Amino acid sequence: MKKLQLYFILLGLFFIVFAFIMATCQEYMKDLDNLPTIVGISFLFLFAFLILYLETRDASRKKEIKEYCEKNGLEYQETVDSLPEIADYKILHMGYEGRNEYHAIMSGQRNDFSFKILDYSYVKSCGDNDGVFNVSLCILSKADLHFPNMILDEKVPFLAGTIDQALMVQSQMNVVKSLGDTTFANKFSLVSTDEKAVREYFKSGVIEAFLKNYIKGCRYDACDDTITIAHLNFLQYNINQRLEMLKKGVALITEIDRARKAVLN
């Protein structure tokens, strides 16, 4: 709803600016050859407003995140050069080396798990040009999860597979075939360096945990006792969206931990 409201606001401002220019440039516009210039100026005003809006929104968003961390005893960092504790995670190597950025990092410890939520951006080739991609990351760690090395992603209609083939080759991962659950197989793509370990791991109620707590549009990169949840987006998550991501992530690892302990006991 908020995105739709933003589109209408921007569209309305565009027509206001366009109408103003038309009203003040009637003589100039008598010659239709000048119409492209008028339209170009209107779009320039709209683009400038959009940039101003995005910069203002981002500053306000980061301020809210920082204030939340201060009120709730969480650590906040404006930026870091790297995240060495998860340096091996494939999801953090999707762009050109040395052109990755980490911002607005909030981290903390709750009961028996730790977490980090942050803005991650990377630069990747898009045809003849480079594109900047923004990702909201939630990194959760809990003892004794013992995840196999795997990546789980939502399948996109009309595409053969959602997980980047280049990423699979780079990380030496292979597609894990059906785990016996039709709903899971139709919804997700799953790759791993150890298919046997994945099949063993998903026997213990993990399928149900993912189906229940999956966040639409997210990719899950898991290994050992840590899982990284990533959502590619145009606008980075605000504090409420971050907390919802954390809530769903905690519910996921809690159910996985409970199911695995029940099997082991």
| Counted domains in the chain | 2
Listed residues 45, 68, 91: the one ending a domain: 68
Listed residues 68, 91, 115: the one ending a domain: 68
Question: What is the pLDDT at residue 252?
Answer: 94
Asked if residues 147 and 216 have their Cβ atoms less than 8 Å apart, the reply is no
CA dist., res. 75 & res. 149, Å (int): 28
Please check whether residues 96 and 148 belong to one and the same domain.
yes
Please check whether residues 152 and 233 belong to one and the same domain.
yes
- List, for the chain, all residue ranges whose pLDDT scores fall below the cut of 50: 1-4, 96-98, 158-163, 166, 169
Please check whether residues 99 and 114 belong to one and the same domain.
yes
Asked if residues 138 and 130 have their Cβ atoms less than 8 Å apart, the reply is no
Whose tokens are 């606008």? That residue is 235
Please check whether residues 133 and 165 belong to one and the same domain.
yes
Please check whether residues 223 and 113 belong to one and the same domain.
yes
End-to-end CA distance of the chain: 46
The model's pLDDT over 151-164, given as tens digits with 9 standing for 90+, comes to 888 876 544 444 45
* Domain span at 191: 75-264
The pTM assigned to this predicted structure is: 0.75
Asked if residues 167 and 192 have their Cβ atoms less than 8 Å apart, the reply is no
Please check whether residues 79 and 53 belong to one and the same domain.
no
